[in-house]
Amino acid sequence: MSSFNRRSILLLPLALVGCGFTPVYGPNGPAHGLDGKIRIDDPTTKNAFDLVGRLEERLGRASNPVWRLGYSISADQIGLGITPSNAITRYNVTGDVSYSLHLISTDQTVASGRVRNFTSYSASGTVVSTAASERDAYERLMRMLADQIVTELIASAAGWAHP
């Protein structure tokens, strides 16, 4: 007989409630009410379009916004894999986004931060496949950065999410 007791699994939710744990998307969780309440600045570049698209996918498109999210994107690529004939076969794409969340009614900054990440792509195929790989790498990078922003906003929402 195993020393594992199924009753401990059943009691785990009670222990979490007892210690003050609240699900982030629960009725009284810190992220409750964010859906559709954050207006994201309009995109002006392809990277910004990808970033805003993912942010709206995660946070919802603002129908009655309370907050405005501003951002600044920086992205670059560096060659990594170099052949003996000095041809680059692999690139790292790095990016960071500085963001600030403002209460629309007063323009007060309620949250801000900076997220960074990277991805890579191979340049060893044809010109067309390399171009497609590069576009895909930038899109993946913007999605990762957007997910990081959402995570940071949700983590800090308890302090500002109820204006």
3-class DSSP state of 141: helix
pLDDT attached to residue 30: 66
Cα separation, 163 vs 158, whole angstroms? 11
pLDDT in tens, 18-69: 556 666 666 666 676 688 899 999 999 999 999 999 999 999 999 899 999 9
Of 25, 24, 33, 58, which Cα lies nearest the Cα of 162? 33
Region 77-97 average pLDDT: 93
3-class SS of residue 79: strand
Distance CA 163, CA 160 (A): 7
Paired strand residues for 114:
98
pTM given for the model? 0.82
